[in-house]
Structure 1
Amino acid sequence: MAEFKVGAPKARAILEAIAQDDEAEPARPLHAVPEPATETESKPDDIVPDPNQVTLRESRQDDTNSQVTDVADPGTGAKVRPVKLWPVLLLAMPAFVAVWSGWVGLGRLTGFGPIQVLPGIWDDLTINSAITLPIGVEAYSAFALRVWLSGSPHTDRARRFAKWSALGSLGLGMVGQVAYHLMSAASVTQAPWPVTTLVSCLPVVVLGSGAALAHLVRDNTDMEVKN
């Protein structure tokens, strides 16, 4: 078929003729006789594909598709590279030290300090209540930012509450840091009563905001499960 450019019926006929000639008389040299190609002989359906070539072609296509899927974004076609996390950790470590020291120092100036966690039960178990400020305020900020900026299917009400509460908690954190450093630079040993009042209310505000946001997120999850 490839040598004489003929279809499958012609090729079979030639093979049968060669076999009959081999039986009838000694083999003689053959030569190709070109014939005008007809519409029936030029049809693609008459040509039997080579299985090896088909398999090789399909494997190449599969390899190409797999490579595109691994490195290309199906929406834009651009290469997708995972975001490295070590820069975030590098930025977070000094920020954590500065924020922690600022909140703990402000807590000491506003009356926070060592307390007995289980008085009358375990008197030796004490904890410095000043650490509740950085843990509560900054942890809630991260939680609210997650709800606000994540791609999870939250309701508009939950996203709106998370947005404004996250911005508010970050703003309170900045105000607290400024207040502590100003008082520390002025060698103040006891914070004024407005600062003490505001800082004393922070744990309650953080608890209420966290509980409200958790309920908003949970209500949305329950509605999706019921639907």
Structure 2
Amino acid sequence: MSMPLRSSYPVPVEDLIPTARKLAADLGTVPSRNRIMKEFRIGADKARAIRDALTEPTPDPTPEPAAPHLKAVENRTDLEPTASDDEMPSAPREGASPQVTPPTDLGTVAETTQPEEVPAAAARDANPIRSWPVLLLALPAFVAVWSGWVGLGELTGFGVVHPLPGIADSFTINSAITLPIGVETYAAFALRVWLSGQVPVPARRFAKWSALSALVLGALGQVAYHLLDAAGVTQAPWWITTVVACLPVAVLGMGAALAHLIHLQPTENGEK
């Protein structure tokens, strides 16, 4: 079928729909978007709009005649290739007043930029909070906590063991070091997860309460050791031994649960 040549002005989609319906009637089916682009020499957006119009039910199936200006375009032979309709802006019609872009509302721009946040961000970048003082605070605390947990572990039955019997009999390790490593490391990790604000709500809630519980247990462990040591006790009471013996298992369970909650995926209703 004879298709219209390209015009210097983009042809509206409404004027191309009747011709596209005639093409669909000749083909016996709705043409694809690529076929419409090829036949009418238009862009992908216009072709998609025409195809959507063809798939919609229409009350008047009779194809409408082509627009008069399309017939005039068919008889013109002095047309030169131009850019695609999607790239070329529409030229103003004769007699129409030119459109003037209104000036930018400076008040709106000022509201969107939110200048009050810029000085705060600049201040953070200019004067960042250093974290090296934490090392000075942690060093003496580490020595005191380590010695207290190791001492309490020795009073409750923790001591030198052979972890590789028959493989490396000479290799020994003091199992009392598992207490400061497990309890205090988990407390620091859970505290970091709680204050980060980058984890799901259940993980943050669990990290909060487990971190506080671990810190309280650590404090009670230090108090128990120093009281027993000051009293000259060489063997802790059975209930202190029971609590201390359960700490490694409790730390393992809390650590595994927190790691699972951190990677918790949202449910079907979007909640976490």
TM (norm. structure 2) is: 0.53
Distance 1:172 1:218 in 2: 27
Could you tell me how far apart the structure 1 residues matched to 2:162 and 2:131 are? 39
Higher percent of residues as helix = 1
Partner of 2:190: 144
Distance 1:77 1:205, change over 3 A: closer
- Corresponding residue number in structure 2 for 1:213: 258
Contact in 2 for aligned 1:73/1:79 (Cα 8 Å): no
Deviation at 1:77, TM superposition (A): 6.2
Q: How does 1:1-227 map to 2 (within 5 A)?
A: 74=118, 76=120, 79-80=123-124, 81-152=127-198, 154-220=199-265
Deviation at 1:220, TM superposition (A): 4.1
Alignment gaps of 5+ in structure 1? 1-71
Q: Distance in 2 between matches of 1:203 and 1:188?
A: 23
Structure 2 residue runs of 5 or longer lacking an equivalent are 1-115
Q: Give the Cα–Cα distance (whole angstroms) in 2 for the partners of residues 201 and 89 of structure 1.
A: 30
Distance 2:260 2:224 in 1: 33
CA shift at 1:74, angstroms? 2.0
CA displacement, residues 1-49 of structure 1 (integer Å, 9 cap, x when unaligned): xxxxxxxxxxxxxxxxxxxxxxxxxxxxxxxxxxxxxxxxxxxxxxxxx
Q: Measure the CA separation in 2 of the matches of 1:215 and 1:122.
A: 35
**Aligned Cα root-mean-square deviation (Å):** 2.2
The SS at the match of 2:232 is: coil
1:175-224 deviation digits (Å, cap 9, x = unpaired): 00000000000010000000000000000000000000001112249x9x
**In structure 1, how many angstroms separate the alpha carbons of the residues matched to 2:172 and 2:138?**
29
Runs (4+) of structure 1 exceeding 3 A deviation are 75-78
Q: Secondary structure of 1:118's partner?
A: coil
In structure 1, distance between residues paired with 2:133 and 2:196: 20
Give the distance between the partners of 1:220 and 1:171, measured in 2 at CA.
Answer: 31
1:51 counterpart residue number: none
Work out the percentage of aligned pairs sharing the same amino acid: 68
Q: Which amino acid aligns with 2:185?
A: A
Q: How far apart, in 2, do the equivalents of 1:118 and 1:77 lie?
A: 55
Which residue identity lines up with residue 133 of structure 1 in the other structure? L
- Structure 1 residues 167 and 215: CA distance shift in structure 2, 3 A: same
Residues matched between the structures, number: 152
State how far apart, in whole Å, the 2-side matches of 1:206 and 1:119 are: 26
TM-score (norm 1): 0.63
Would the alpha carbon gap of residues 220 and 99 (structure 1) be closer, same or farther in structure 2, given more than 3 Å must change? farther
Pair 1:77–1:138, CA change in 2 (3 A): closer
